[in-house]
Amino acid sequence: MTKKTSPLVVVLMGSKSDWECMRHAAETLTRFEVPHECKVLSAHRTPRETAEYVSKAEARGVEVIIAAAGGAAHLAGVAAAHTLLPVFGVPMESQSLKGLDSLLSTVQMPAGIPVGALAIGKPGAINAALLAVSVLSASRPELREKLRHFREEQAKSVLSTSLP
Ligand code: RP5
Ligand 1 atom closest to the Cα of residue 18 is 6
Which residue CA neighbors atom 13 of ligand 1 most closely?
15
* Beta bridge partner(s), residue 36: 9
Enter the pTM of the model: 0.96
Q: What is the pLDDT of residues 144-163, one digit of tens each?
A: 999 999 999 999 999 999 99
pLDDT of residue 4: 63
pLDDT of residue 123: 98
Q: Which amino acid is present at 59?
A: A
C-alpha to C-alpha distance for 52 and 83, rounded to whole angstroms = 10
Neighbour order of strands in the sheet with 87-91: 36-40, 9-13, 64-69, 87-91, 116-117
pLDDT of residue 5: 82
List, for the chain, all residue ranges whose pLDDT scores fall below the cut of 70.
Answer: 1-4
Give the 3-state secondary structure of the chain.
CCCCCCCCEEEEECCHHHHHHHHHHHHHHHHCCCCEEEEECCCCCCHHHHHHHHHHHHHHCCCEEEEEECCCCCHHHHHHHCCCCCEEEEECCCCCCCCHHHHHHHHCCCCCCCCEECCCCHHHHHHHHHHHHHHHHCCCHHHHHHHHHHHHHHHHHHHCCCCC
Which residue CA neighbors atom 5 of ligand 1 most closely?
70
pLDDT of residue 1: 44
* CA-based end-to-end distance of the chain: 41
Mutate to test the pocket of ligand 1, among 12, 15, 50, 120 (most ligand atoms within 8 A of CB): 15
Which residue CA neighbors atom 10 of ligand 1 most closely?
15
C-alpha to C-alpha distance for 89 and 74, rounded to whole angstroms = 9
